[in-house]
C-alpha cells in the first residue's frame, strides 16, 4: 500500500476513536507480536530516545507514527521500568504540536538535572515548498511526569557548510560543562559530528566538528551520535548512512557502529581512535542509545529495524521493535555487549543437556517459542560447529562457526517469511578465531539475538516463522563437546 503525504502527516488527534480502534484490532490479529521486547501498540516504532534514569525509574522514549507501518509525522512515546525488563506504558510524551516541531518530534536524548529530566530533540518542520527546517529543542519533565516544551529552540540555525540533515542532539555533562553532539551532513555530502557547549543549558556556543580519521567510506550522514567514557577509554557511537559494503562488512542499507579511542579533547575537538566497528553483525539494528544507571553500568538499547525497510508485519498495521538492553564493557581494546543480567527474571522451566557430536546431528525436541538458550562448544576438533533453530518442515535458521575459514555465519534464507530484496541478502558473516564457542541466544516470537563469547560479537535478526517451526538441531563436521541449558520465558 502506498501512503500519500497527506496520510503520512495525519495526526492521531485528527482521527476518530472508531478509526483508531480498527487499527488496534488489525494489530491484535498479528501472529508476530513479541512477548518480551518493546513494540508499538500500533503503527511504526523507530529510534530509541531519551534513554535515562530519573526519580527511581528507567525511562525510554521512542519515535512513533501511530497510524500505520510507515515513516509519517513522529511523536515521542514514553515507557518506564524499575528493572529494564517489565515496562509500564506511559503513553504519548510529546506530540508535533508547536511551530518548531510541526512535522515531527525527531530523535534526541535526555539528561536528569536536579528535580527535572531535560529532553533534547530535533523539531522537524516543512515550509510551503516542503523544504525541511530543523530546530534543536528542549522539553522538561517533572517528577510527576508532566512535560513542558520550552518556547524557543536552544539551537535555531544551522552553521554554514552543513545541510538540513542536522539532528539528533546527544547532551551530556563533562568537567562542569554541558556538551551537545549533533549528527550532520556537510555540503560536500560527507557525514560528521558537530558539537556545542554550554554552562547553563540555556546559552550554547558552536564549537565545530569533532576531528576524526574516519573519512574513507564513511557515508554522507552520521545519525544518532552518542558518547561515553569507560575504563579510561572513549566510545563515540554513530549511525552512518551511505557506506559501501566491503566484503563481509556494512551489508545493511545503513550501518551502526562506534569509534573506540582516547578521551576526546573537547577544547580542540580532537579524537584519536581505532577503526570503525559495527555494533551488530546481523540484519536489523540501528540508532542505538546508551545511558549510565545508578549501578555505574553503561546500558545500550537499539532500534530492531532499519530505515526504508519494509516489514513482514506491515500488513497487520505495525512494524519494528526494540532490542534487548545490553551492558557495554570495554576490555583489552574491544567493546563487549552482554545481555542485561535482569533478563534472568524471565526464566521459568529449565532444561539442561550435554552430549558429544562426531560428524552428526542431534535434535533437541522443543515446542517453546520464547526462550533463552546457552550453548558451549568445547574441545572442538572440527571444521564446522553450529546450531539450527526454528526448524520445521520447510524452515530453519542456521548459525555456525566455520573454523576452516575463521568465520561466524548466520543464514536466514529459509527462516520463514522474509522481506523482499533485503539489502545485502540474507546471510551475514564476520571474522572469528577462537578455540571455543559460547552462544547466548534469546528467541522471542519474531526475533533472535545471538551473543557470542560473552558479547564479543552479536547477531540480531527479525524472524517470521510458522508457529510449529520450533525444533533445535546441533550439528558438526568433526568432533565437539556440547553443553547447554534452555530456559522457557
Question: Which residues are annotated as catalytic?
Answer: 47
Angstrom CA distances, 433 to 402, 407, 430, stand at 9, 7, 10
Q: Which CA distances in Å does 301 have to 37, 60, 285, 409, 430?
A: 11, 9, 10, 24, 22
Distances (CA, A) of 176 to 232, 297, 361: 19, 21, 59
Residue with cell 539475538: 449
CA 465, 301, 245 angle in degrees (round to 5)?
A: 70
76 burial type by CB count under 10 A (0-12 exposed, 13-18 middle, 19+ buried):
buried
How many residues does this entry show for the chain? 489
Q: Residue 429 belongs to what H/E stretch? A: strand 427-431
- How far apart are the C-alpha atoms of 154 and 179, rounded to whole Å? 12
Q: Which candidate, 171, 145, 115, 124, places its Cα nearest to that of 289?
A: 171
Is residue 92 within 8 Å of residue 70, measured between CB atoms? no
Report in angstroms the alpha-carbon separations of 427 from 32, 285, 392, 424, 472: 22, 15, 19, 8, 19
What is the C-alpha to C-alpha distance for residues 128 and 60, in angstroms, rounded to an integer?
A: 34
**CB count in 10 Å sphere of residue 34:** 16
Distance CA(4)–CA(198), nearest Å, equals: 41
Amino acid at each position: 500500500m502506498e501512503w500519500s503525504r497527506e496520510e503520512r502527516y495525519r495526526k492521531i488527534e485528527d482521527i476518530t476513536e472508531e478509526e483508531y480502534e480498527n487499527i488496534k484490532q488489525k494489530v491484535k490479529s498479528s501472529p508476530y507480536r513479541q512477548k518480551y521486547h518493546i513494540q508499538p501498540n500500533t503503527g511504526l516504532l523507530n529510534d530509541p530516545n531519551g534513554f535515562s534514569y530519573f526519580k527511581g525509574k528507567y525511562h525510554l522514549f521512542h519515535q512513533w507514527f501511530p497510524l500505520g507501518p510507515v515513516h509519517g509525522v513522529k511523536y515521542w512515546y514514553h515507557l518506564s521500568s524499575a528493572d529494564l525488563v517489565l515496562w509500564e506504558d506511559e503513553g504519548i510524551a510529546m506530540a508535533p504540536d508547536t511551530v518548531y516541531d510541526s512535522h515531527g518530534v525527531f530523535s534526541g536524548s535526555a539528561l536528569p538535572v536536579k528535580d527535572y529530566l531535560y529532553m533534547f530533540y530535533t523539531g522537524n518542520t516543512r515550509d510551503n515548498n516542503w523544504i525541511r527546517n530543523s530546530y534543536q529543542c528542549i522539553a522538561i519533565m517533572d517528577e510527576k511526569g508532566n512535560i513542558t516544551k520550552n518556547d524557543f529552540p536552544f539551537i535555531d540555525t544551522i552553521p554554514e557548510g552543513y545541510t538540513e540533515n542536522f539532528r539528533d542532539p546527544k547532551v551530556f555533562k563533562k568537567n562542569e560543562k554541558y556538551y551537545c553532539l549533533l549528527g550532520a551532513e556537510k555540503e560536500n555530502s560527507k557525514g560528521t559530528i558537530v558539537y556545542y557547549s554550554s554552562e547553563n543549558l540555556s546559552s550554547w556556543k558552536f564549537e565545530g566538528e569533532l576531528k576524526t580519521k574516519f573519512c574513507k567510506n564513511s557515508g554522507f550522514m552520521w545519525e544518532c551520535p552518542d558518547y561515553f567514557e569507560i575504563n579510561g577509554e572513549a566510545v563515540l557511537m554513530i549511525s552512518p548512512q551511505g557506506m559501501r559494503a566491503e566484503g563481509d562488512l556494512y551489508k545493511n542499507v545503513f550501518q551502526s557502529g562506534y569509534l573506540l579511542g582516547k578521551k576526546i579533547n573537547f577544547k580542540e575537538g580532537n579524537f584519536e581512535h581505532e577503526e570503525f566497528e559495527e555494533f551488530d553483525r546481523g540484519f536489523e539494528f540501528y540508532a542505538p542509545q546508551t545511558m549510565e544507571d545508578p549501578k555505574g553500568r553503561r546500558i545500550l538499547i537499539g532500534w530492531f529495524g532499519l530505515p526504508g525497510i519494509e516489514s513482514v508485519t506491515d500488513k497487520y498495521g505495525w512494524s519494528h521493535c526494540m532490542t534487548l538492553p545490553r551492558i557495554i564493557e570495554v576490555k583489552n581494546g574491544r567493546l563487549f555487549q552482554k545481555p542485561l543480567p535482569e533478563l534472568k527474571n524471565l526464566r521459568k522451566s529449565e532444561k539442561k543437556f550435554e552430549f558429544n557430536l562426531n560428524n552428526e546431528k542431534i535434535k533437541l525436541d522443543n515446542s517453546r517459542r520464547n526462550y533463552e538458550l546457552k550453548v558451549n562448544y568445547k574441545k572442538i576438533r572440527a571444521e564446522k560447529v553450529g546450531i539450527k533453530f526454528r526448524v520445521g518442515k520447510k524452515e530453519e535458521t542456521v548459525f555456525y562457526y566455520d573454523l576452516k575459514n575463521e568465520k561466524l555465519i548466520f543464514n536466514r534464507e529459509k527462516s520463514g517469511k522474509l522481506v523482499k530484496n533485503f539489502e545485502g541478502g540474507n546471510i551475514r558473516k564476520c571474522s572469528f578465531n577462537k578455540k571455543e564457542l559460547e552462544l547466548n541466544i534469546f528467541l522471542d516470537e519474531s526475533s533472535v539475538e545471538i551473543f557470542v563469547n560473552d558479547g564479543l560479537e552479536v547477531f540480531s535478526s527479525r524472524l517470521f516463522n510458522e508457529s510449529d517451526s520450533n525444533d533445535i538441531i546441533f550439528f558438526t563436521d568433526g568432533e565437539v563437546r556440547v553443553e547447554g541449558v534452555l530456559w522457557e520465558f
